[in-house]
A and B are shown apart, each in its own frame.
Chain A
Amino acid sequence: MSIENERVAGEKRRVREDGDEIGWDGRSLQEMLRETEALTEETGRYRGLERLEMKEESRFEYERLYSRLRGALVSARETALHVSASPIVREIGELCFQIYTPEGDSIAVSTGIIVHVHTGSLAIKWMIEQDYEHDRGIEPGDIFCNNDNDLGNVHTTDVHTIVPIFHDGELVAWADGVTHEIDIGGMSAGHTSPVHTRRFEDGIYATCEKVGKDDERFQDWKVRGERSTRTPQYWDLDEKCRIAGCHMIREAVHDIIDDVGAETFKQFTREAVEEGRQTMESRVQERLFPGTYQSTSFAAMPFEEEGWKPEQQRDHLIHLPVEMEVETDGTMSVDMEGASPQGDHSFNAAEGSMTGGLWVSMTQCLLHDGKVNDGSHIALDTNFPEGSITNPDDPQLSFHAPWGTIMPTFQSVWQNVSQGFFSRGFREEVVTGYSETSDTLQGGGTLMESMAQLIPDEVGDYYPIGPFDLSCQGLGASAVRDGLDWGYAMWNPESDMGDIEEWELTQWGTQYLSRQVKTDSAGHGKYRGGSGWEGVMTFMGNDEASLLKTAQPDVTFSVAGMSGGYPGSTKYAVRAHDTDLQARARQEEPYPVGDTPPGTFEEDIDGDIVRTERGTYFPKQFDNYDLVHFQMGGGPGWGDPLDRPVEKVVEDVEDQIFSPGTVEDVYGVVGEFDEDTLDFEIDEDATDEARERIRERRDAESMTYDEFFDQERQRVAEADVSDQVATMYEEVFDISEAFAEEFEAFWGTKGGLG
């Protein structure tokens, strides 16, 4: 036996010699799972727990155990990430560790990408239902791997390592570590690619596979990683990072059991899950307002011109309605009836993806104290309709970029919850949404041989491109202040732009030319959304590089602001090929450092400039001295812009958040802006007149609801909408009778459009 850890080796001998079931008290895991599900379903409480005996009677010991367990998870994350070489793991912290009950219910989760509260749960339950314990075998020292969204994951480049933890012949818990890979192979280079349509294009799929035993990975599994990814060194070291973290957690659990005994540990884990359920319900009662909440988001995929495969050469508009009920008992529901169907694209989001988005949202708005677990999940009912983009029934679809669906959807969830906060008086907790995390530059290149000699690296000359400064977007406004500028990612509350030098260290053939404020990207309002930013990158020392860009929102908005606030601006794309950058640099002439106002990028570069309203493009070839512009978005606003104090608008202009022309049109604030000193001198009379004029125009240019209804209804009757919108409705009507009836009842029509 090759396990160096004597304790684990002993556990393995014990399990083999006993030959008993590995669940508690001689039961199988399947029996435990069935019993837990039945008790929970029957009583509405986790395993029917009437009381939290340990928490009530030994409160200190209970809290100490919770802190010790969560501390072990956080410590595993903070320590193990140094094993990784990937900058998105090591620099940005794109990893997370969880611990689960034998049945796969989350007990506690570390910091980091906490979308994974429930994902490992789904994967473990799937293995139990497939009877891995009797067929494939589950033994001390085993290592399992999963990145299949359909079985329990967020997107395919999140890769899980799952390790069983045994004591005295029984499986007492599971440790699960996740890292976000920069590459898992597949038809396009990248971690969240819009290019794929089917599973076969996504790269490596580990479908709850046993990839090791006796604490060692199988040789064939290691060879598969080496030969199937573009960046095998990151794949290998990230996996070692996950295994190291899981083993740290295993040791911590063994230490805890040595100290308090297995029975106490078991009781604690049960109570911790039930406490999570109770905490969720009490938070709902403390902060929200009973009632029904509705918000709808939209996601666009303008692929008609960009698509490679015939079936993907179409424009999609995705419908993402979110209805939430807050009940007086503190339970809550999220219903996405009417969501668009699954499709031949990579935005398909499995149940694990959606619940991932749900829990990373709830941990930021309702459950701040770190005690989120599957108990919270029990207190919240979800409906992600089967066959929809939020719960596909075809595992052969691509699941590479479900964030394209998750991010818009949870803007609506945030808005619904924020409505509850506001009505309850907790205005400071309101968040109107956020900019989705794009523009996402993804791809890779090959370093010129002469350059490769300058960068000694034994693994070769391919380098990936996947800067995670996209994690710094504008956050939406609250109901008491502006949104955070360039500092938020909904999927990782510890958002970090990362140092440019860090990205350049690994993206060898790229050079940043700039990062600067993206003026006029923030959503307007009494409180504005956080601003976005923009950057320009060039290429040097490449033999060849290929790059794609995804952007949301681009050809439509995803969601509005709240209470009279506007959404942040949309995004677009501009790039330059075959440029004169080299000559400009030699002659010390200016080069583009942004595109503000839009259209000025071209002023400082000659070459083949490609500019599109859509912000997404599929992989393009980039040569040395080509330029790529990218843009991070602004968050939505709150309240009527005319209620924004003039002095704040002055600050906006002087900080270049908004341009003078924009503030005159939207806020009615007029003045002289000195571009050299960045001073904005207000003309008070002109400002008063401009504000009055805006109010008068609202009267003159608006219509009554009845006029609006007649106008839009006429368009329904004539099907006077874009093909993208018409197709969205047709596809939704096909899978959701409820939405079709709602649409027809609203407009008083039959048979949809036309």
Chain B
Amino acid sequence: MTEHGSQEETDRQQIAKLIEGELPWDELRNDVLPDPKDGQRFETTREIIQSKVGWDDPVLVPLNDKLYAVGTDDGRRVRCECGHDFCDLDEHWKEHARVRVREDVEEMEEIYPQHQTPHPEWTFQLREWFCPGCFAQVDVDAVPATYPVKRAFDPDIDAFYEEWLGKPAPDRRDGAAD
């Protein structure tokens, strides 16, 4: 199990504000940014997120601002905060997303002014990935045309819980309902 800093546990309300982006700068600067970090941050964050989402399946790890790895009776899944399930965690969630590709200069100029976009002759794309359930924009890729879709993060969830936190993941605990 990892040893953590000796700082008192960061106030739960402070972390809740942090997640909402509402923590004032002085608290962020003085309480949250400096070392040592709060050793309970992961669990506190996970509990706050769990209390906010509209389902009982345990959140295992946040993947980004909208997507979570969750444990379900059907195995580990990638789920949007709107409740839409993309796929099994082993799969790449982008293969179950909607995507809009901007490559023409007119499409780029909806986002950026003239001259501040990629040159159209270089066939460079912005790929905007949407949740099919709520059409939140969950990721953007900036890649040349025909570039393979890569998986940004493949977490080793069991290793994290068992070796770093010293306990099974929430979906692997005996009879544990999170």
Known: A285-B2, A560-B126. A481 touches B113 (CB 8 A): no
Which residues on the A side are within 8 Å of B113 (C-beta)?
A: 519-520, 569, 597-598, 659, 662
> Judging by beta carbons under 8 Å apart, are B41 and A425 in contact?
yes
Which of A559, A614, A746, A747 is the one whose CB lies under 8 Å from B119? A614
CB distance from A473 to the nearest CB of B (A): 15
Shortest C-beta distance, A727 to chain B (Å), equals 11
* Contact residues in B for A559 (Cβ distance below 8 Å): 142
Mask of A689-708 contacts with B, CB within 8 angstroms, 1/0: 00000010011011111001
A369 near B116 with CB under 8 A, answer no
Is the Cβ of A563 less than 8 Å from the Cβ of B122? no
Name A427's closest neighbour in chain B (CB-CB).
B18
A328 and B164 contacting across the interface, CB-CB below 8 Å: yes
B111 within 8 A of A: yes
CB within 8 Å for A561 and B41 given contacts A425-B46, A613-B115, A698-B130: no
Over the window 117-139 of chain A, the binary record of Cβ atoms lying under 8 Å from chain B Cβ atoms (1 yes, 0 no) is 00000000000000000000000
Interface size for B (C-beta < 8 A) is 80
B-facing residues in A347-382 (Cβ within 8 Å): 368-369
Q: Are A291 and B21 in contact (CB under 8 A)?
A: no
Interface check A564, CB cutoff 8 A: yes
Question: Which one of A197-205, A215-223, A294-302, A389-397 contacts B?
Answer: A294-302
Interface pair A742/B137, CB less than 8 Å apart: no
A564 B137 Cβ-Cβ under 8 A: yes
Out of A296, A315, A480, A716, name the residue touching B18 (CB < 8 Å): A480
Contact residues of B between 123 and 163, Cβ < 8 Å to A: 123-124, 126-130, 135-156, 159-160, 163
Complex partner residue of A293 from B33, B101, B152, CB under 8 angstroms: B152
Q: Does any Cβ of A come within 8 Å of B172's Cβ?
A: no
In the complex, whether B169 has a CB less than 8 A from a CB of chain A is no
Choose among B101, B118, B138 the residue that contacts A555 (Cβ–Cβ < 8 A). B118
User: Is there an interface contact between A572 and B124, defined as CB atoms closer than 8 Å?
Assistant: no
Contacts of A298 in B (CB 8 A): 124, 142-144
> Nearest chain-B residue to A526 (Cβ)?
B65
Question: Considering the chains assembled together, what is the distance between the CA atoms of A728 and B146 in angstroms?
Answer: 12
The interface residues of chain B lying within 8 Å CB-to-CB of A524 are 111
Whether B156 contacts A328 by the Cβ 8 Å rule is yes
With contacts A298-B143, A428-B28, A638-B65 known, is A328 near B163, CB below 8 A? yes
Q: Are A286 and B2 in contact (CB under 8 A)?
A: yes
Kindly report which residue of chain B lies nearest to residue A695, judged by CB atoms. B135
Evaluate contact between B140 and A566: CB separation under 8 angstroms: yes
Known: A282-B3, A526-B65, A725-B146. A428 touches B32 (CB 8 A): yes
User: How far, in whole Å, are A165 and B34 apart by their CA atoms in the complex?
Assistant: 36
Whole-angstrom distance between the Cβ of B108 and the nearest chain A Cβ: 9
Decide yes or no: A743 and B123 within 8 Å by CB, A296-B143, A328-B159, A521-B116 being known contacts. no
For B123, list chain A residues within 8 Å (CB): 721-722, 724-725
Q: Which residues of A contact B143 (CB under 8 A)?
A: 296, 298
By size class, the interface of chain A is: 35 or more
Contact flags B53-74 to A (C-beta < 8 A → 1, else 0) = 0000000011111100000000
A725 to B111, CA, bound (A): 23
B23, B115, B141, most chain A CB atoms within 10 A: B115
Nearest A residue (CB) for B34: A368
Docked pose: A409 CA to B55 CA in angstroms: 39
In the complex, identify which listed stretch (A306-314, A416-424, A434-442, A509-517) lies at the interface while the others stay far away: A416-424
> Bound state CA distance, A565 and B115, in angstroms?
20
Given known pairs A317-B122, A560-B126, the reply for A565 and B140 (CB within 8 Å) is yes
Residue of B nearest to A739 (CB): B148
Q: How far is the CA of A384 from the CA of B49 in the complex (A)?
A: 39
Once A296-B150, A572-B116, A598-B113 are accepted as A-B contacts, the answer to whether A563 and B65 lie under 8 Å apart by CB is yes
In the complex formed, the residue of A with least CB distance to B123 is A722
**Complex Cα spacing A483 to B64, Å:** 18
Does chain A have a CB within 8 A of B121? yes
B146 touches A640 (CB 8 A): no
A494-533 CB mask vs B (1 if < 8 Å, else 0) is 0000000000000000000000000111001011000000
A59 located at the interface, meaning its Cβ lies under 8 Å from any Cβ of chain B in the complex: no
CB < 8 Å: which of B95, B124, B138 contacts A640? Answer: B138
Is the Cβ of B144 less than 8 Å from the Cβ of A419?
no
Q: Decide if B4 is an interface residue (CB 8 Å cutoff).
A: yes
Q: Judge whether A293 and B32 touch: CB under 8 Å.
A: no
B119 touches A708 (CB 8 A): no
Asked whether, in the complex, the Cβ of B111 is within 8 Å of the Cβ of A665, the reply is yes
Q: A317-B144, A560-B142, A598-B115 are in contact. Are A702 and B64 (CB under 8 A)?
A: no
A142 to B48: give the CA distance in the assembly, Å.
Answer: 61
Residue in B35, B45, B135, B145 whose CB lies within 8 Å of A425: B45
In the bound assembly, the distance between CA atoms of A557 and B19 in angstroms comes to 29
Contact B144 A556 (CB under 8 A): yes
**Please, which residues of chain B bring their CB within 8 A of the CB of A562?**
64, 139
Residues of chain B contacted by A635 (CB below 8 angstroms): none
Q: Is A660 an interface residue (CB 8 A)?
A: no
Known: A556-B118, A564-B140, A742-B148. A289 touches B61 (CB 8 A): yes
B114 at interface by CB-CB < 8 Å: yes
Report the Cα distance A664→B10, complex, angstroms. Answer: 39
Can you name the residue of chain A whose Cβ is closest to the Cβ of B158?
A: A290
- Tell me whether A463 is interfacial, beta carbon within 8 Å: no
Q: Are A598 and B116 in contact (CB under 8 A)?
A: yes
Residues of B within 8 A of A560 (CB): 126, 139-142
A462 interfacial contact with B, CB 8 Å: no
Is residue A426 contacting chain B, with contact meaning CB distance below 8 A?
yes
Q: Do A291 and B28 have beta carbons less than 8 Å apart?
A: no
Q: Is A566 within 8 A of B136, CB to CB?
A: no
Contact check, B115 vs A703: say whether CB atoms are below 8 A apart.
Answer: no
A641 within 8 A of B: yes
CB distance from A650 to the nearest CB of B (A): 16
B167 at the interface (CB under 8 A from A): no
Query: Cβ of A695: which chain B residues have Cβ within 8 Å of it?
Result: 135
The digit string for A424-457, where 1 denotes a CB below 8 A from any CB of B, is 1111110000000000000000000000000000
Name 14 A/B residue pairs within 8 A (Cβ), A-sorted.
A302-B119, A328-B164, A419-B153, A425-B41, A427-B18, A555-B122, A555-B124, A563-B139, A571-B116, A705-B96, A705-B99, A721-B145, A722-B123, A722-B144
Interface residues of B (CB under 8 A from A): 2-5, 15, 18-19, 21, 23, 25, 28, 32-33, 35, 37, 39, 41-42, 44-46, 61-66, 94-101, 110-119, 121-124, 126-130, 135-156, 159-160, 163-164
Besides the known contacts A564-B66, A721-B123, A728-B144, 10 further A-B residue pairs in the complex with CB atoms under 8 A apart: A289-B156, A291-B156, A292-B151, A328-B164, A424-B42, A562-B64, A598-B116, A640-B136, A698-B100, A725-B145
